[in-house]
């Protein structure tokens, strides 16, 4: 595997962790978030500052998760009284607030110039890819465990109907906060990995277009489907690389994809695959 292919595979792994985190919030618990990139950025800036201070990589990744998860809980607490469109607007506002803060803090966060010369993780390119791969597999396994656990059933109940969930004794606020905490912690982990991968971060890396990109990955793969999100993430990470002219129109393309998926295939690729499988089974049974 060449350096380019290795770098591309590393980015796919980081994006899978990021998208799996959003899927916990939006796919499992039904909480629409348009500011996921902010928590991605919080993780990246946390890890970068600690790395520049000489702290070891593993400690920095844990700190990135904790910091992003803690802010996620705070955002979740402020969002408990809002739903659907109002929640989406609230989380979008968090994303813009994050960008405003990092752009104004020139002495600490580098302002528009960002943070450069971030120390490497110290394991080489191949070693770092293996680390990202292992963490991505663990994130996927954790997500599958959550989905099949009692917490996953509670998330599903909250997503379907909050009032009905309360009737069956589901602590709706607690599970909403849990979804935000877990999903944003994974975003923080992805951000920490990204800062070590790029070794140079700027505010625009974590802007609104990044939030839309991650949401598109989840929607195209299939909201709530773990394996669908993996496929959607891989596709939307690799397609711009193979068709470079799309990169200049990424927001337009992702917006069109979101519209098309929501209108014609609301269950994403996972839903289309399941539908095709059922049709094949029916034809086989008819024969």
Q: Is residue 257, in this structure, part of any structural domain at all?
A: no
Confidence band (pLDDT; 50, 70, 90) for 284?
low
* Band (47; pLDDT cuts 50, 70, 90): very high
Tell me if 225 is assigned to some domain: no
Residue 271 lies in a domain: no
- Residue 266 pLDDT: 64
Report whether pLDDT(51) > 80: yes
Amino acid 46: pLDDT: 96
Q: Given a cut of 60, is residue 287 above it in pLDDT?
A: no
Inter-residue contact 155 to 175 (CB < 8 Å): yes
In tens, the pLDDT along 54-72 reads: 999 999 999 999 999 999 9
Residue that wins the pLDDT comparison between 150 and 239: 150
Assigned domain for 203 exists:
yes
Residue 158 in any domain: the answer is: yes
Distance CA 282, CA 287 (A): 9
User: Highest mean pLDDT range out of 28-42, 179-193, 199-213?
Assistant: 179-193
Render 42-59 in DSSP notation, one character per residue: HHHHHHHHHHHTT--HHH
pLDDT(229) > 70? yes
Q: 76 is in which domain, residue-wise?
A: 3-207
Average pLDDT (25-54) is: 92
Q: Looking at residues 94-107, what average pLDDT do you find? A: 90
Determine, yes or no, domain membership for 245: no
Span 163-190, mean pLDDT? 91
Query: What CA–CA distance (Å, rounded) separates 189 from 136?
Result: 10
Mean pLDDT of the chain: 86
State yes or no: pLDDT of 96 exceeds 50.
yes
- For residue 215, being part of any structural domain is answered with no
* Alpha carbons 271 and 98: distance in angstroms, whole number: 35
Mean pLDDT within 260-264: 71
- The structural domain count of the chain equals 1
Q: Do 220 and 235 touch, CB atoms closer than 8 A?
A: yes
For 265, left (φ over 0), alpha (ψ -120 to 50), or beta?
A: beta
Would you say residue 181 lies in a domain?
Answer: yes
């Amino acid at each position: 595997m060449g350096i380019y292919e290795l770098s591309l595979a590393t980015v796919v792994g980081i994006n899978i962790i990021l998208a799996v985190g959003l899927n916990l919030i939006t796919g499992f618990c039904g909480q629409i978030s348009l500011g996921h990139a902010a928590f991605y950025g919080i993780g990246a800036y946390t890890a970068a500052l600690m790395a520049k201070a000489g702290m070891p990589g593993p400690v920095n990744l844990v700190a990135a998760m904790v910091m992003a998860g803690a802010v996620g809980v705070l955002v979740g607490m402020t969002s408990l009284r809002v739903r659907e469109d109002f929640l989406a607007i609230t989380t979008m506002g968090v994303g813009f607030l994050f960008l405003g803060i990092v752009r104004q803090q020139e002495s600490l966060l580098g302002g528009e110039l960002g943070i450069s010369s971030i120390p490497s993780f110290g394991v080489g390119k191949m070693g770092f890819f293996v680390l990202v791969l292992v963490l991505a597999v663990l994130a996927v396994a954790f997500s599958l465990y959550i989905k099949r656990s009692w917490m996953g059933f509670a998330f599903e109940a909250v997503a379907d109907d909050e009032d009905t969930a309360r009737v069956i004794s589901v602590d709706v606020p607690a599970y909403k906060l849990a979804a935000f905490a877990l999903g944003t912690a994974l975003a923080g982990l992805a951000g920490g990995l990204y800062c070590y991968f790029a070794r140079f971060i700027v505010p625009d890396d974590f802007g609104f277009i990044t939030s839309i990109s991650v949401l598109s990955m989840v929607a195209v793969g299939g909201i709530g489907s773990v394996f669908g999100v993996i496929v959607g993430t891989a596709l939307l990470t690799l397609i711009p690389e193979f068709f470079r002219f799309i990169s200049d129109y990424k927001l337009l393309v992702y917006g069109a994809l979101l519209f098309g998926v929501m209108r014609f295939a609301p269950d994403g690729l996972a839903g289309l695959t399941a539908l095709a499988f059922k049709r094949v089974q029916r034809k086989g049974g008819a024969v």
